[in-house]
Structure formats: structure tokens, C-alpha cells
Amino acid sequence: MGKSKKIVGISSGREGGITDKAVKKILEASQLPYDFISLSSFELLTCNACNGCVTTYQCVKDDQLNEICDIMQQADGIVFGAPEYWNGANGKARVFWERICFSTRHNAQFPLAGTPGIIVGVSGDGDSREVLQDIRVFFEDARIKLIDSIEVQGEYACFTCGYGENCEVGGLADIYELPTIINDKTTPSLCNQYPHKLQPGKDITKQLTRLGKALANRFSANQPDI
């Protein structure tokens, strides 16, 4: 019998935000042991391209990125979720992946190569294609095997800033006629997606669950080892 599988989920969203929740939903649905890492708990530094990682495959900066990288290398599957900030994955996601990809790519060594992965893109208006595209570039560079991705509608910070109901330049203006009322019905959640258009009240948890099961199925007995 093969060694038991363990997966890791990483989110670059707000602590307890929609990205954290969507990634966790996939992890739970897999019914595999997992680690969950919210990058909100870390102040990540940027890559200086100092080449300090060339022989060690470890970043020289001391901000726990290497610990996360070790967990990723031990994992049999990776779920990564990022929110959209200004038409792309947020800066925290990019800072994270720039350093993961650079420190693990020297001398044609790609320790994450072949690991199956899923990308979760979260955005205020539900169109998260640009997030998926940004993270896909890093998956490709690290040779992570993308098995699926999903777009989730998140909750604009404008829902809680205090001015969102009337603010013409805020996120609610993208999805509602203003003024609007902020309540459970108008606030997006995993169980209440696209409330303003398309499919009001759509529940995305089923799709997230399907992705978790699909990841777990990669390791089932009748699947070839990947």
C-alpha cells in the first residue's frame, strides 16, 4: 500500500475572508489530511533576485517563506487561492509566488514538478479570469500540474467600510444600482453568489466540493501514481 497522501491549501486573501473559506472547502471535501496556510498570518518580503538561493534552494530572507515552501514540497497536492486586486492576483500572491518559483527553479531542479494543483480566483464582481491567469503562470513555471480552477465571487471590502451603500466609486456600484441595502441577501458568500445578475443565490459550495473530491480521486487506488 502506498504512503498516505496529504495536501496543502494556501490563501492570499483576508483572514477568514472568502478566499480562505473557498480554499478550506476544497480541502475539507477531499477528506484527506491537510495543512491550511493563510498568508494573512505572514508579512512576506519581496524577491531581491540576489541569487542567494541558487545552491540551497532556500530564500535567504527570514520571514517563514522557506517553512511554507517545505510544506509545499512535502504535499501531494496544492490548492492556491488569491483575491483579485486591480484586475489581477493581489500583491501578496505575486510576492509569494515570485520567491517560491525563483528559489525552487535553479539548475533545472523543480521540486514541485508534477504535484497536482487547483487554483481558486476570488473577485468582487465574480469575474476572476485575470487572477487565474496570473497564478497559472506560476504553476506552469513551477511545473505544478493544474487539474482545475474555479472563479468565486467574493465580498468587496465596501460591504463593511461603512460607505458602500451609497459610494459611486466603490465595489457595490459594480454590481448594484445605488443606493442599495447591505444585508444577508445582498452580500455575497459561498452560498449566495452573483446575487445581482446571472444566477441569484447560486451556491458554489457544490463546485468547490467537486474539486476537492477530484483532487482526492487522483490518489485513489485505481489511478496511476502521479
Task: State the burial class of residue 179 (Cβ atoms within 10 Å of its Cβ: 0-12, 13-18, 19+).
Answer: exposed
- Provide φ and ψ at 159, rounded to 5°: -70, -20
Q: Measured from the CB atom, is 59 or 119 closer to ligand FMN? A: 119
Min dist. Cβ of residue 171 to ligand FMN (A):
6
Q: Measured from the CB atom, is 72 or 172 closer to ligand FMN? A: 172
Min dist. Cβ of residue 44 to ligand FMN (A):
16
Using alpha carbons, list the distances in angstroms from residue 94 to 72, 82, 176: 16, 9, 30
Min dist. Cβ of residue 190 to ligand FMN (A):
11
Min dist. Cβ of residue 1 to ligand FMN (A):
38
> For binding to ligand FMN (CB under 6 A), which residues are involved?
13-14, 17-20, 83-87, 122-125, 154-157, 171
Question: Rounded CA gap, 205 and 29, in Å?
Answer: 10
Min dist. Cβ of residue 39 to ligand FMN (A):
11
CA 55 to chain centre: 29
Q: Measured from the CB atom, is 51 or 160 closer to ligand FMN? A: 160
Q: Measured from the CB atom, is 9 or 154 closer to ligand FMN? A: 154
Which residue is at the shortest CB distance from ligand FMN? 154
Give the full edge-to-edge strand order of the sheet including 7-11.
34-38, 7-11, 77-83, 116-123, 145-153
Q: Measured from the CB atom, is 66 or 164 closer to ligand FMN? A: 164
